[in-house]
Amino acid sequence: MKNLYSSELTKSTYDAIIIGSGIGGLSTAVFLAKAGKKVLVLEKHYVPGGFSHTFKRKKFEWDVGVHYVGQMNSKDSMMRKTFDYITNGKLKWTDMGDVYDQAIIEGTTYNFKKGRAHQINQMIEYFPEEEEAIRQYYALTQKVGVNNTTFFSERTMPFWLSKTVGYFMRKKFYIYSQKTTSQVLDSLTSNEKLKALLCSQCGNYGLAPNKSSFAIHGLIVEHFIEGGSYPVGGASNIHKKMTAVIEANNGIIAIKADVKNIIIKNNKAIGVEMMNGDKLFSKNIVSNAGAHNTFNKLLLKEDQKEANTIELNKIKPSVSHVCIYVGLNASDEELNLPKYNIWLYDNYQLNVSQAHHLKTINSPSPITYISFPSAKDPEWQSKNPGKATIQVLGSYPYEWMKKWEDLKWQKRGPEYEKRKEEIKNDLLEKLYKTLPQLKGKVEICELSTPLSTKHFSNYSNGEIYGLEHTPERFELKQLRAKTNYKNLFLTGQDIVCVGVGAAMFSGLITSVAILKRNLLWRVIRYKTEE
């Protein structure tokens, strides 16, 4: 197996050891490797990429966590430029079209069109009496987008510098992050249907409007406002292209490399100990394992600090989910499948429905998300003629699966399998109700649960969005690249926010903190310099 971990790796010392090969870890590795640093990435799973990897069954393939990415339609956007830099321009993107999201609420269909003016006009067409509120809303989301760069740039700073200038870099963003999405929308309109529509993409961050920070909501809206894109060849091309760049710059990625703990000596991170007892040493240790995992699990009890854990542990992990992976024996064209995603809601009471769901065991998710990976990928049909793939997701609290967590993957018993079958049938029914032409066309349907996510991602509660995006989350000053241990750094979505682009930018933030140099100039000048 290529890149399989070997104890031979202990014979070298590294400039940076990165724990976890999600997009945050890989982008950090690329920036450091391109700067001439000797990098080792350690991945517990048997394939790199974190939530950017894909999996196959028979002739079908599905993405796990990359369903669409914003800001890729313009080659001049910083998001696109950065992805070009970390993949040496090898990662190609395809536009999802004029509509990238569709919300169906109580049977009424609403489209999210790409382009700020187009989207605003579309929303006004749906709710002409609410034009002023709609324009105010999009003005506010735009302000969130403008102020996020300064806010997250502050997270490259060491604590001492943050104490002197950090407040001034955070304060404008706090205007929006300290309010919930519901609080902001309630100040603009009393129209419950409009509020539900504007919040219908909340599944992208996994939190109801009355719990989520308006900052994350605004960031998501702004991220996709100019449309959605999908990586040509599938989501796995993201990590494949980054891996190629890392290896071309003498970096190493090791799979089935399970880290037991980070080695701390005199408050300084000096290496990692593996589950097999191996010890590897490095000038810098970077954790892409998530803040909870890093401070609560990867550090030995005697090395843990209350300053890191007390406030952090008040922030819950985001809600976990279930997903069916559907393989169809007809093409996307034959089935008339869209490229855009569909968000299904039974009613307009998003907050009430989500609260009921979370306290009612085994209740169906009030939000259902349908994605069409094969329709989005222009290369799919030539490689897989006469086939199509769909994913259908819904929220499902980890606690409802907890009694089976200590049983082995694929060997959790008949009761677990029965529950899985019930969930699968519920999601299939919602799919058939939305797209009745799919009946009789399903060749394969497989369900993943929060325990599946935990098994493959090592997140304790099977979460995919890291820490909950509440107002309190954005006030945690320790969610930054540099920790209060010398030479120990964080990367990944927890130091920015949910999303492929945010995870990628976390690598830039962490690399700037390590190298102490402005890497943005390398990104901006990439096309002319290389």
Beta bridge partners of 395: 321
Strand, helix or coil for residue 488? strand
pTM of the model: 0.94
Q: Got the DSSP string for 334-382?
A: HHT--SSEEEEESSS-HHHHHHHHHHSTTPPPSEEEEE-HHHH-TTHHH
Residue type at 354?
Q
Domains of the chain: 7-53+233-311+478-529 (3.50.50.60), 117-223 (no CATH), 316-457 (3.90.660)
Which pair of tokens denotes residue 258?
Answer: 């399970």
Q: What angle do CA 423, 425, 430 make, to 5 degrees?
A: 100
Overall residue count recorded for the chain in this entry = 530
Rounded to the nearest 10 degrees, the angle between the axes of helix 131-153 and helix 214-224 is: 100
Beta strands in 250-355 (DSSP E): 252-254, 259-265, 268-274, 279-282, 285-287, 321-328, 341-345
* Residue whose C-alpha is closest to residue 216's, from 497, 507, 504: 497
- Tell me, what's the pLDDT at 1? 59
Whole-angstrom Cα distance, residue 169 to residue 145? 14
Helix (H) or strand (E) holding 444: strand 442-448
Rounded to the nearest 10 degrees, the angle between the axes of helix 131-153 and helix 181-188 is: 150
Helix (H) or strand (E) holding 169: helix 167-177
- Answer whether 123's CB lies under 8 Å from 197's CB: yes
Q: Got the DSSP string for 388-440?
A: EEEEEEEE--GGGGGGGTTSPTT-S-HHHHHHHHHHHHHHHHHHHHH-GGGTT
Q: What is the pLDDT along the chain (530 residues), one digit of tens a residue?
A: 578 999 999 999 999 999 999 999 999 999 999 999 999 999 998 888 887 777 788 888 888 878 999 999 888 899 999 999 999 999 999 999 999 999 999 999 999 999 999 999 999 999 999 999 999 999 999 999 888 889 988 888 878 888 888 888 899 999 999 999 999 999 999 999 999 999 999 999 999 999 999 999 999 999 999 999 999 999 999 999 999 999 999 999 999 999 999 999 999 999 999 999 999 999 999 999 999 999 999 999 999 999 999 999 999 999 999 999 999 999 999 999 999 999 999 999 999 999 999 999 999 999 999 999 999 999 999 999 999 999 999 999 999 999 998 888 778 889 999 999 999 999 999 999 999 999 999 999 999 999 988 877 778 888 888 899 999 999 998 899 999 999 999 999 999 999 999 999 999 999 999 999 989 888 988 874 44
Q: What angle do CA 15, 16, 21 make, to 5 degrees?
A: 150
Whole-angstrom Cα distance, residue 356 to residue 224? 29
- Answer whether 158's CB lies under 8 Å from 487's CB: no
Regarding beta strands 279-282 and 367-371, do their DSSP bridges make them parallel or antiparallel, or are they unpaired? unpaired
Residues 6+ apart with CB under 8 A from 383: none
* Residue whose C-alpha is closest to residue 216's, from 509, 496, 27: 496
Residues 6+ apart with CB under 8 A from 217: 141, 181, 184, 199, 202, 205, 209
* Residue whose C-alpha is closest to residue 30's, from 508, 516, 529: 508
Strand, helix or coil for residue 498? coil
